[in-house]
Amino acid sequence: MTSEEAARLAVGGFSRCSVAMALATVVLSATATRAELPPWVYGEQQRQAPVVVRLRVRQAERAGDEARVSGEVLRVWRQPPALSLQSGQTLRLRYSLPPRQGPSVLGPSSLPLPRVGEIVTAWLQALPGPGPMFAPAAGGRSFGPSLESVREP
């Protein structure tokens, strides 16, 4: 038996080159994936959000690393007693946007910038200061489908 035949038998009948290519493919595939928090974490953040509204986005702009969004309240599901949000009212949101990165970033889901005209459910918190100003309260899942029913396993 030659040394090459012995090497093939040692790795299940595959050449060293085939094994190296397979390993490289697995490693490269793993680095191109996006790992984020499990859904129940976002569900917990949504359940704890003090304000939950249905919003029609009227303006959405990115100014450097900051998002500025305004929208018309279509429905109010939850708000603290100190607020008096009503349908038809305009809400303003301000929040930081992460630097644009590739798909291999690990960590929580990034906050999106909603599109003008889009109707979204928003989980928010009031910001201190003059005038009503809000910020997302459920991280990258502050806009979109509800995960409130998702619990920690």
Residue 15 φ then ψ, to 5°: -75, 160
10 Å Cβ neighbour count for 142?
Answer: 26
pLDDT of 22 over the 60 cut: no
Least confident range of 3-7, 25-29, 128-132: 25-29
Phi and psi based region of residue 64 (left: phi greater than 0; alpha: psi -120 to 50; beta: remaining): left
Computed over every residue of the chain, the mean pLDDT equals 81
Straight-line distance from the first to the last Cα atom of the chain, in angstroms, rounded to the nearest whole number: 54
Burial (CB count <10 Å: 0-12, 13-18, 19+), residue 71: buried
Q: Would you place residue 102 in the very low, low, confident or very high pLDDT band (cuts 50, 70, 90)?
A: low
DSSP secondary structure letters along 33-88 = S-----HHHHHHHHHH-SEEEEEEEEEEEEETTEEEEEEEEEEEEE--TT----TT
pLDDT of 1 over the 50 cut: yes
What pTM was computed for the model?
0.73
What is the residue extent of each domain of the chain? Answer: 1-33, 39-98+105-141
> What is the assigned CATH class of domain 39-98+105-141?
mainly beta
Higher pLDDT, 12 or 61: 61
